[in-house]
Chains A and B, each alone.
Chain A
Amino acid sequence: MNRQGGYIGINRTTASGTGGSGVFTMDAFYRAILSETWSTEFSVFNYNYMGSSKWSLQGTWGTNTSTVLAQSGAGYPTYVRAISNTSQKGLDASWTLDFQFNKTGLNSSPYPGQHLAITKSDTSSGIGTNLSLVTGDKLIDLQAGNNYNMGINIIDFTGSSMYNASFSDSAFSVGGHPSRVTFDFPTATFTWYVANGTSTSNLVQKGQYTLSTSQQTAMLGTAGRDRDLHIGVAGRGGTDGVRNVVWATT
């Protein structure tokens, strides 16, 4: 597979020091989602600057039966794949997604950006088979970038931006600090929180947006509103990675 310019999930381990780091942009991230079966064939780019580089399938699908879906513990690999359960369907139920961007040493340029994306399945249940070509792939992107920047982007399937929020504050750079996104049903309101400390009690609301009914339909389609949501992450692995992703009902 050849995906020039679109790194996603570079397979770097801090323990071995092998591989390389890269700069992830949102455009590259979405290009990877759109051009690949990103969620079904999870793309980890094994970067070898002295040899051939390739994409590969890594990790397994997590379900919401465990407290922490992925990236718990010392390993923090580059990949997370998880689907919602029956009580967390699309935009027809309330849900809460907790995760951490480990921002230690973030203020260094270029910094390999980190992303967590929420997309949807093409089936009413489970993982689906044709994720990259259906509406709703571009759903929500949470990102951390250089200079302590963090942001949320809510985008409909046409690529139009529905809502953005962004801030840069070194007070939010504590390693492993929590982030949270909630969706409230039936008000259809997304709320984004980031913590300026290591506890969820430190969470501060940084953005909020309420979808209209027509916008809900525009994002997922009438039939897609009750479909499973998927999450995936991209970014450097190791201790700098996205970690402790938990998807739970409210």
Chain B
Amino acid sequence: MANIVDAIKEIGTSNSWELIGEPATEAEFNANFKNHDSSNPITWTEAKAKLDELNE
């Protein structure tokens, strides 16, 4: 079973990012995810969609 960390790793392979914990909501995601690459923003919606795809 993939988690949100796995999803972000799938999306942000070329990004520089930091993530605290395993956010389960958009608010938690926004509070704990830092994307250092403005060229490829990663949103909660995108991460959650990738997570659902990984767990299909």
> Interface on A for B, CB 8 Å cutoff?
147, 149, 151, 153, 160-169, 206-207, 209
Contact = CB atoms under 8 A, between A and B. Distances in A.
Contacts of B36: 167
B16 A169 contact: yes
Interface centre among A149, A153, A160, A167 (most CB of B within 10 A): A167
Contacts of A165: 17-19
Contacts, number: 43
Interface residues of B, number: 16
Interface string B9-20: 100111111111
B21 interface: yes
B38 to A, nearest CB: 14
B46 interface: no
A166 B9 contact: yes
A163 B13 contact: no
24 contacts: A147-B13, A151-B9, A153-B5, A160-B22, A161-B3, A161-B5, A161-B21, A163-B18, A163-B20, A163-B21, A164-B18, A164-B19, A165-B19, A166-B12, A166-B17, A167-B15, A167-B17, A167-B36, A168-B13, A168-B14, A168-B15, A168-B16, A169-B16, A209-B20
